[in-house]
Copies of this chain bind each other. A is one copy, B any other.
Amino acid sequence: MDKEVEVLNHLWTDIYYQLRYNHQEKITHQGIRILQVIEKEDEVGIKEIANVIQVSHNTASEHIKRLLGKKYVFKTRSSKDERKVILRLSEIGSDVLHRHSNLDEEKLKEILFEQMSDEERKLILEAFTLLWERAKDVRNS
């Protein structure tokens, strides 16, 4: 059981190491984590950021200031509560995030459509969908 988990992790990291984008612009660790949260959650404000990356609200505010300066994110305000900021990714921010967390589209295309049969491609998609389904509501300890 531990063995199988270990194998899967090895496959996971190897695949990412091989298929990720090579060219990566300068961005900090905290920057990426923040962009990820904004992309994956909705209605994210300063407080949520501070919570997720475990820093004080003022530090979170500073991080957002830098990301704003780089045009990676932009702010809107909640219509319900005018104090509350709602952060969204700009197109640039979205691109930067993808180049740091997605698999390289060119490489994926080559693998899926040049090196695989329709059967094999279907297997991959099925397996990922299944894992995604089960991952959605795993308890978050």
Contacts and interface: CB of A to CB of B under 8 A. Distances in A.
Interface string A97-141: 010011101111111110110001101111111111011101111
B103 A9 contact: yes
A109 B135 CA distance: 11
A8 B141 contact: no
A76 to B, nearest CB: 23
Interface in A22-65: 22, 27-29, 32, 36, 40
Given A29-B27, A29-B28, A112 B4 contact: yes
Contact of A136 (B18, B32, B110, B113): B18
A132 to B, nearest CB: 5
A42 to B, nearest CB: 13
Given A15-B135, A29-B29, A135-B18, A9 B105 contact: yes
Interface of A: 1-2, 4-9, 11-19, 22, 27-29, 32, 36, 40, 98, 101-103, 105-113, 115-116, 120-121, 123-132, 134-136, 138-141
